[in-house]
């Protein structure tokens, strides 16, 4: 009853909004697709009359959503992205989709931009699945961030190449792995119909004021593309370059309670007093992470119509990242010199011994990455009795290296060399192989079936560099400090039956069977201590069921139920790592997550808009969490991966869109999501037994909302204004982080974005924009960007 009352209240509060964020001419791909059975499942099928409630994706690229599933779906197209979003990265396309948030901290954020959905927080990257043109971008070598970080490889898609992006909420497709429990995101990129060439250039600038220290942080990105179609071959080549200077993200601190009254240590000034996320007094003494990043992306994509009914799609993408981090100390001695290390005295409190400053407080880093994505997809589209699709995708860490000065080698000496570490992930990556078929025995039925194998291999070695951490190369004599290695292999079969029951009813029943193995596991805790882990094999079955009823042309009711099993990742099983600032403790006996998710939706076609109301629940047993606690005795974050007994989520969502509202050319879209996600069972604890029971799941706000208007006030001009809201949330399992507006806290936020775009002529377009117009200073462990001004220009031949 509580959820029913809330859903009714939200519906009354948002009477003018509709369900899908698509342009008026593109509702077919936004979750309200035509449902001609079976003729509309091909990539290039025609567009039959619209009907509500069935998911069907069409376009140039193979899809990860086979068949037709009556589950919640949303999406936006290229026109909407260009007109309304200040998009510098691929994940920006998701900004205003219902219930979603990407933890992007700066332009080009490559190691922390994790997707959050209704019941999955920004620490759970393995609970969503992100694809581009049918190839996996999600990184299931690990989960979340910590000693290692595992966000999707967003950098392999540039905003300018996106044709559309679609999202399915929940694990309701039997073709998707258990990682789909939160959401499945599918990017489709463009292939030209004729010869084309283009270029773009964009800049952004962010004046930033944090803890009284100000600065301006800029970024720019440029790219060019060329493509065409010659008979049966369509192709596109693109090159993009980004340079970004992000605002400070981490800060060196000392708890006031860790200081000892006295005269010991160098007397310094410049510390900024405040409170940590638990409300305890502390001192901020400098910034620890401030990235300067250069990234390049090269992509080649082609589609060859081998025969009139058989296509081959090929993708090759290379992504490079060179980043440097140079921290800053705010402390000054009596002569005004910066103080980086040693015992210090702040306001009569001495910080000596383990509390003295070291390279752990001000760690310099240098990263050099080269990742390669390759894929080949063969797909038939006869629209006859049977069609098939074969997929081969590979992500390879050709080079993945991070250098860092040692704790005993503080700045400024470390800036010219000395002791440090080199962490290498070279050779890591994943391979995905799949064979799917679509059988149409008659006009009333479509059966999808397939087999898949997903192989994830992690090899992460950290070496001790004795003399020059900036340039020393690894040799056979270089000491090994630690190593994490292993593989997880997931073999799956699935079948999904879409059955028409008369004119108004659709029934979808699916089953996914999976065999999971963890093999070759090994953890070198140090050069002298290693542990090999035994092979593990487990099998699971995940049923799916969905039903839709269309009582009238403008109404559809949908219900869906699905089980998902999210397997542990290599890093969660074996990832005992230690860096200057953090330690992660492995858990080789980790159990898989097992989730049951359900939803009930009502959708209404308003003629010029769409309205959806959804009730949803999720019950997860053995939820996998990496719980981080700051240990003041060693001045480090200690993370331990653990199973949480049971987390229960119930919620409601209203989402919608209206076109030509009040005046011609004005479109409005928005959503409100309420999610009550609570830990119900847990044998573990953070500080004391039972301290997590009844507490909210980390990084899941009770309320989340978005509202965006776009006005096409002349044929060449349009302006958009949007607002996003997220309520109070916690980062810890025991909700002890009661102070969110600080470093390591998670704060509520309300931000406003604006954009004005001018289509000068057929070839040229320019735009000005601002994100976080109201300059809200908000946090998710790290600070998000403050007010950021943007400008971009595009040219198309």
Confidence of residue 529 (pLDDT cuts 50, 70, 90): confident
The answer to whether residues 83 and 101 touch, using CB atoms and an 8 Å cutoff, is no
The values of phi and psi at residue 692, to 5°, are -100, -15
Mean pLDDT confidence for 511-533: 93
Q: Burial level of 476, CB count in 10 A (0-12/13-18/19+)?
A: exposed
Q: Is the sign of the CA dihedral 634, 640, 645, 646 positive or negative?
A: positive
Q: What is the pLDDT of residues 426-444, one digit of tens each?
A: 999 999 999 999 999 998 9
Is 60 exceeded by the pLDDT of residue 559?
Answer: yes
Q: Provide the strand spans (E) within 381-504.
A: 386-405, 420-424, 429-442, 445-465, 480-501
Which residue shows structure tokens 């209704």?
118
Is 60 exceeded by the pLDDT of residue 12?
Answer: no
The values of phi and psi at residue 570, to 5°, are -60, -45
Confidence of residue 526 (pLDDT cuts 50, 70, 90): confident
Is 50 exceeded by the pLDDT of residue 1?
Answer: no
Q: Burial level of 797, CB count in 10 A (0-12/13-18/19+)?
A: exposed
CA separation, residue 614 to residues 323, 507, 558 (Å): 43, 19, 9
* Helix/strand/coil percent split, the chain, to 5: 5, 55, 40
- What distance in Å separates the CA atoms of residue 70 and residue 755, rounded to the nearest whole number? 34
Instruction: List helix spans (H) across 154-292.
Output: none
- What distance in Å separates the CA atoms of residue 383 and residue 310, rounded to the nearest whole number? 11
Helix (H) or strand (E) holding 84: helix 78-84
Mean pLDDT confidence for 519-524: 94
Is 80 exceeded by the pLDDT of residue 657?
Answer: yes
Q: What is the pLDDT of residues 353-396, one digit of tens each?
A: 999 999 999 999 999 999 999 999 999 989 889 999 999 999 99
Lowest-confidence pick of 48-52, 142-146, 268-272, 299-303:
48-52
Three-state secondary structure call for residue 65: coil
The answer to whether residues 746 and 730 touch, using CB atoms and an 8 Å cutoff, is yes
Report the phi/psi class of residue 155: left, alpha or beta, with left for phi > 0 and alpha for psi in -120 to 50.
alpha
- What distance in Å separates the CA atoms of residue 715 and residue 393, rounded to the nearest whole number? 42
Mean pLDDT confidence for 779-794: 97
Length, in residues, of the chain: 797
Percent above pLDDT 90 for the chain: 83
How many other β-carbons are positioned within 10 Å of the β-carbon of residue 337? 11
Q: What is the pLDDT of residues 600-612, one digit of tens each?
A: 999 999 999 999 9
DSSP state of 9: H
- Residue 439: the pLDDT is 94
- The token pair that represents 632 in the structure block: 């003041």
Q: Is the sign of the CA dihedral 779, 93, 762, 22 positive or negative?
A: negative
> By C-alpha distance, which of 550, 543, 545, 574 is closest to 560?
545
Mean pLDDT confidence for 638-664: 92
Q: Which residue has the higher pLDDT, 785 or 580?
A: 785
- Residue 69: the pLDDT is 78
Please state, rounded to an integer, the average pLDDT across all residues of the chain: 89
> By C-alpha distance, which of 142, 81, 92 is closest to 115?
92
Is 70 exceeded by the pLDDT of residue 33?
Answer: no
Q: What is the pLDDT of residues 203-234, one digit of tens each?
A: 999 999 999 999 999 999 999 999 999 999 99
Angle at 106 between CA 101 and CA 112, to 5 degrees: 60
Could you tell me which residues come within 8 angstroms of residue 190 by beta carbon, excluding any fewer than 6 positions away? 60, 78, 161, 162, 163, 236
Confidence of residue 66 (pLDDT cuts 50, 70, 90): low
- Confidence (pTM): 0.91
Lowest-confidence pick of 234-248, 387-401, 519-533:
519-533
Kindly write down the DSSP assignment for every residue of 361-394, as one continuous string: TS--EEEEEEEEEEEEEEEE---SSEEEEEEEEE
- The token pair that represents 111 in the structure block: 């190691």
- Residue 383: the pLDDT is 82
Is 60 exceeded by the pLDDT of residue 10?
Answer: no
Q: Which residue has the higher pLDDT, 587 or 47?
A: 587
Q: Which long-range contacts (CB under 8 A, 24 or more apart) does 221-224 make?
A: 221/88, 221/107, 223/158, 223/160, 223/199, 224/197, 224/198, 224/199, 224/200
- What distance in Å separates the CA atoms of residue 499 and residue 509, rounded to the nearest whole number? 9
- Residue 246: the pLDDT is 97
- Residue 201: the pLDDT is 98
Mean pLDDT confidence for 471-492: 94
Angle at 493 between CA 143 and CA 180, to 5 degrees: 30
Mean pLDDT confidence for 299-315: 96
The answer to whether residues 696 and 647 touch, using CB atoms and an 8 Å cutoff, is no
Please, what's the largest Cα pairwise distance for the chain?
A: 87
The answer to whether residues 322 and 293 touch, using CB atoms and an 8 Å cutoff, is yes
Kindly write down the DSSP assignment for every residue of 131-177, as one continuous string: EETTEE-S-TTS-SSSSS-----GGGS-GGGEEEEEEEESS--TTS-
Q: Is the sign of the CA dihedral 82, 86, 91, 97 positive or negative?
A: negative
Confidence of residue 630 (pLDDT cuts 50, 70, 90): low
Instruction: List helix spans (H) across 210-344.
Output: none
- The token pair that represents 681 in the structure block: 């069972």
Look at strands 609-631 and 593-605 and give their pairing. Answer: antiparallel
Q: Provide the strand spans (E) within 609-763.
A: 609-631, 636-658, 666-681, 703-711, 717-726, 749-759
Angle at 31 between CA 490 and CA 137, to 5 degrees: 35
Q: What is the pLDDT of residues 705-724, one digit of tens each?
A: 999 999 999 999 999 999 99
Before 600, cis peptide (omega within 30)?
no
Is 60 exceeded by the pLDDT of residue 25?
Answer: no
Confidence of residue 43 (pLDDT cuts 50, 70, 90): very low
How many other β-carbons are positioned within 10 Å of the β-carbon of residue 662? 8
Mean pLDDT confidence for 622-635: 72
Class of the 2-183+198-246+293-327+362-796 domain?
A: mainly beta
Q: Is the sign of the CA dihedral 230, 64, 495, 70 positive or negative?
A: negative
């Amino acid at each position: 009853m509580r959820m029913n009352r809330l859903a009714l209240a939200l519906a009354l509060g948002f009477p003018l909004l509709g369900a899908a964020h698509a342009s008026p001419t593109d509702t077919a791909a936004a979750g309200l697709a035509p449902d001609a059975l079976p003729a509309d499942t091909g990539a290039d099928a025609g567009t039959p009359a619209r009907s509500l409630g069935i998911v069907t994706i069409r376009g140039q690229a193979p899809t990860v959503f086979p068949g037709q599933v009556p589950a919640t779906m949303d999406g936006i197209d290229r026109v909407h992205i260009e007109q309304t979003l200040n998009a510098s990265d691929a994940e920006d396309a998701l900004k205003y989709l219902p219930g979603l948030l990407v933890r992007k901290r700066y332009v080009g954020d490559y190691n922390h931009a994790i997707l959050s959905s209704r019941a999955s927080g920004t620490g759970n990257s393995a609970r969503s699945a992100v694809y581009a043109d049918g190839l996996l971008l999600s990184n299931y070598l690990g989960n979340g961030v910590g000693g290692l970080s595992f966000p999707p490889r967003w950098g392999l898609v540039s905003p300018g190449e996106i044709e559309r992006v679609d999202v399915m909420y929940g694990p309701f497709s039997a073709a998707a792995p258990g990682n789909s429990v939160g959401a499945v995101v599918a990017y489709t990129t463009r292939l030209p119909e004729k010869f084309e060439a283009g270029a773009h250039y964009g800049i952004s600038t962010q004046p930033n004021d944090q803890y009284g220290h100000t600065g301006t942080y800029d970024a720019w990105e440029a790219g060019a593309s060329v493509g065409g179609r010659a008979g049966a071959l369509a192709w596109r080549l693109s090159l993009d370059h980004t340079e970004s200077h992000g605002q400070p993200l981490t800060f060196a601190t000392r708890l006031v309670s860790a200081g000892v009254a006295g005269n010991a240590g160098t007397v310094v000034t410049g510390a900024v007093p405040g409170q940590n996320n638990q409300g305890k007094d502390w001192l901020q003494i400098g910034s620890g992470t401030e990235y300067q990043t250069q990234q390049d992306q090269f992509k080649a994509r082609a589609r060859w119509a081998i025969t009139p009914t058989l296509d081959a799609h090929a993708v090759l993408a290379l992504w490079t990242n060179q980043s440097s981090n140079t921290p800053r100390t705010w402390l000054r001695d009596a002569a005004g010199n910066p103080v980086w290390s040693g015992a210090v005295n702040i306001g009569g409190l001495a910080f000596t011994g383990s509390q003295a400053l070291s390279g752990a407080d001000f760690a310099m880093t240098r990263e050099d990455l080269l990742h390669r994505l390759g894929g080949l997809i063969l797909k038939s589209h006869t629209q006859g009795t049977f069609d098939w699709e074969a997929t081969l995708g590979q992500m390879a860490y050709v080079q993945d290296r991070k250098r860092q000065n040692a704790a005993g080698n503080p700045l400024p000496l470390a800036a010219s060399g000395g002791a440090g570490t080199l962490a290498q992930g070279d050779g890591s990556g994943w391979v995905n192989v799949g064979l799917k078929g679509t059988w149409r025995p008659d006009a009333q039925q479509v059966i999808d079936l397939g087999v898949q194998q997903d192989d994830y291999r992690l090899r992460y070695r950290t070496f001790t560099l004795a003399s020059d951490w900036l340039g020393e190369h690894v040799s056979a004599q270089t000491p090994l400090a630690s190593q994490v290695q292993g593989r997880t292999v997931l073999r799956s079969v699935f079948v999904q039956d879409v059955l028409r029951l008369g004119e108004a009813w659709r029934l979808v029943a699916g089953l996914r069977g999976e065999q999971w193995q963890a093999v070759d596991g090994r953890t070198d805790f140090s050069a002298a201590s290693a542990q090999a882990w035994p092979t593990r094999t487990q099998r699971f079955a995940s049923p799916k069921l969905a039903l839709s009823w269309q009582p009238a042309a403008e109404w559809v009711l949908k219900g869906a139920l699905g089980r998902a099993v999210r397997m542990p990742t290599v890093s969660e099983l074996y990832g005992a790592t230690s860096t200057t600032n953090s330690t992660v403790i492995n858990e080789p006996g980790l159990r898989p997550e097992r989730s049951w998710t359900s939803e009930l939706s009502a959708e209404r076609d308003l003629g010029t808009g769409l309205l959806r109301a959804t009730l949803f629940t999720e019950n997860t047993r053995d939820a996998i969490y990496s719980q981080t606690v700051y240990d003041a005795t060693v001045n480090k974050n200690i993370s331990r991966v653990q199973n949480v007994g049971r987390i229960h989520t119930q919620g409601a969502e209203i989402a919608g869109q209206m076109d030509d509202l009040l005046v011609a050319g004005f479109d409005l879209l928005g959503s409100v999501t309420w999610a009550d996600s609570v830990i119900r069972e847990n044998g573990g604890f953070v500080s004391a037994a039972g301290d997590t029971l009844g507490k909210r799941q980390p990084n899941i706000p009770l309320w989340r909302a978005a509202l965006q208007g776009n006005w096409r006030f002349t044929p060449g001009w349009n302006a958009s204004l949007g607002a996003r809201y997220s309520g109070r949330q916690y980062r810890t399992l025991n909700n002890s982080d009661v102070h969110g507006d600080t470093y390591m806290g998670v704060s509520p936020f309300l931000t406003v974005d604006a954009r004005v775009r001018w289509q000068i002529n057929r070839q040229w377009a320019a735009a000005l924009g601002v994100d976080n117009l109201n300059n809200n200073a908000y946090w998710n462990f790290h600070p998000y960007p403050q007010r950021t001004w943007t400008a971009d220009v595009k040219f198309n031949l």
